[in-house]
């Protein structure tokens, strides 16, 4: 464990130089703002494998590193190995890669990272080769925004892409918008077809703002009403099967 602490020391020193705000952490009623406290909470869990730490014990670990008091009752929800498990390494809990994932997001405030960008940061720090496909979720990502594994490049016409959700309970006619560089109002609307059409087991959204041909700006996430951030969503060419995944323009981190 001493070796791990030495290995992390310069990283945490660098993180502190960026700035910390312990009062607004991912586990302190603000799940979209990642702070140094979040990094240290997950680090404390990592350094105590197999131990069911209480809020008081986690707060004590974080406070000891920061050299300032973090109240146990400020941890909401209480960090757990499952909550700190952002990268699938097969262990089902928190490991060093998960801790560094939180650190990478902390070091990029205000930036919506894709899975590819997240693992690039992890691999750059650790010298590993973690693939984007191993990302289970992005630390601090919105629970209602669906994060994609890779950015979808700008499209000349919105009718050229479709978005399919692995959920057949959505109501036909559900809509959401994406930014557009030339559409009136600056957005284009995607509307869901009946579940299972044209692809079994999926609900597919098509662009309903097609005249005149309206472009879609590049995007890294999708705000679909009624679809949680944990959903599997495919972005693919129109009239092209959503599966297999190799043919997609992108897919959410929840997709295999």
- Spatial distance between the Cα atoms of 50 and 38, rounded to a whole number of angstroms: 19
User: Which of 82, 100, 134 is where one domain is finished?
Assistant: 134
- Spatial distance between the Cα atoms of 232 and 180, rounded to a whole number of angstroms: 24
Same domain, 14 and 114: yes
**93 CA to centre of own chain:** 17
- Spatial distance between the Cα atoms of 256 and 91, rounded to a whole number of angstroms: 17
Query: Is the CB of residue 37 less than 8 Å from the CB of residue 25?
Result: yes
Residue 210, judged by CB atoms within 10 A of its CB (0-12, 13-18, 19+), counts as: middle
Same domain, 14 and 128: yes
Domain that holds residue 87: 2-134
Please give the model's pTM, rounded to 2 decimal places: 0.60
- How many Cα atoms within 13 Å fall on the side-chain side of residue 10? 4
**Does residue 7 lie in a domain region?**
yes
**Does residue 210 lie in a domain region?**
yes
Same domain, 159 and 122: no
Across the strands, what pairs with 233? 165
pLDDT for residue 66: 86
Retrieve residue 197's tokens.
């059409």
- Spatial distance between the Cα atoms of 94 and 113, rounded to a whole number of angstroms: 20
Same domain, 70 and 162: no
**Does residue 256 lie in a domain region?**
no
pLDDT for residue 244: 63
Same domain, 7 and 110: yes
**Does residue 156 lie in a domain region?**
yes
Retrieve residue 152's tokens.
């979808």
pLDDT for residue 1: 35
Same domain, 6 and 111: yes
Q: Residue 205: in which H helix or E strand, if any?
A: strand 203-207
pLDDT for residue 50: 86
**Does residue 115 lie in a domain region?**
yes
pLDDT for residue 229: 77
Same domain, 127 and 158: no
The alpha carbons of the chain give a radius of gyration, in whole angstroms, of 20
Retrieve residue 49's tokens.
């494998």
Residues in the chain, how many?
A: 256
CA dihedral 126, 130, 134, 140 (to 10 degrees): 30
**Does residue 140 lie in a domain region?**
no
Q: What is the DSSP string of 5-44?
A: HHHHHHHHHHHHHH---TTS-TTBT-TT---HHHHHHHHH
**161 CA to centre of own chain:** 22
User: Which of 100, 134, 168 is where one domain is finished?
Assistant: 134
Q: Could you list the pLDDT tens digit for every one of the 256 residues in the chain?
A: 333 443 455 455 544 444 444 444 677 766 778 888 889 999 999 999 888 899 999 999 999 988 889 999 888 778 888 888 888 877 777 999 999 999 999 998 878 788 888 999 999 999 999 988 788 888 887 666 788 888 899 999 999 999 999 988 888 999 999 999 999 889 999 999 999 998 999 999 999 988 888 999 999 889 888 887 778 899 999 878 776 666 789 988 878 7
Same domain, 174 and 129: no
**Does residue 141 lie in a domain region?**
no
Closest CA to 11 of 100, 87, 85: 100
Same domain, 8 and 128: yes
pLDDT for residue 17: 42
The count of structural domains within the chain is 2
Same domain, 99 and 151: no
């Amino acid at each position: 464990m001493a070796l791990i602490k030495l290995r992390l020391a310069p990283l945490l020193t660098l993180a502190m130089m960026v700035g910390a705000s312990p009062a607004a952490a991912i586990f302190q009623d603000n799940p979209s703002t990642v702070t140094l406290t979040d990094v240290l909470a997950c680090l404390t869990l990592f350094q105590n494998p197999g131990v069911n730490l209480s809020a008081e014990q986690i707060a004590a670990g974080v406070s000891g590193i920061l050299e300032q008091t973090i109240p146990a009752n400020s941890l909401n929800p209480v960090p757990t190995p499952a909550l700190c498990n952002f990268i699938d390494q097969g262990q089902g809990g928190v490991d060093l890669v998960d801790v560094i994932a939180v650190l990478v997001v902390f070091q990029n405030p205000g930036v919506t990272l894709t899975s590819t960008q997240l693992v690039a940061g992890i691999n750059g720090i650790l010298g590993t080769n973690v693939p984007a496909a191993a990302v289970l979720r992005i630390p601090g990502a919105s629970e209602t925004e669906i994060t994609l594994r890779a950015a979808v490049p700008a499209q000349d016409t919105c009718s050229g892409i479709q978005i399919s959700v692995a959920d057949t309970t959505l109501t036909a006619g559900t809509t959401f918008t994406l930014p557009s560089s030339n559409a009136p109002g600056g957005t284009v609307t995607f509307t869901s077809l009946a579940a299972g059409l044209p692809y079994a087991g999926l609900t597919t959204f098509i662009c309903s703002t097609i005249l005149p041909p309206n472009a879609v700006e590049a995007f890294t996430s999708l705000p679909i009403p009624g679809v949680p951030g944990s959903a599997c969503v495919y972005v693919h060419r129109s009239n092209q099967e959503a599966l297999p995944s190799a043919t997609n323009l992108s897919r959410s981190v929840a997709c295999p």
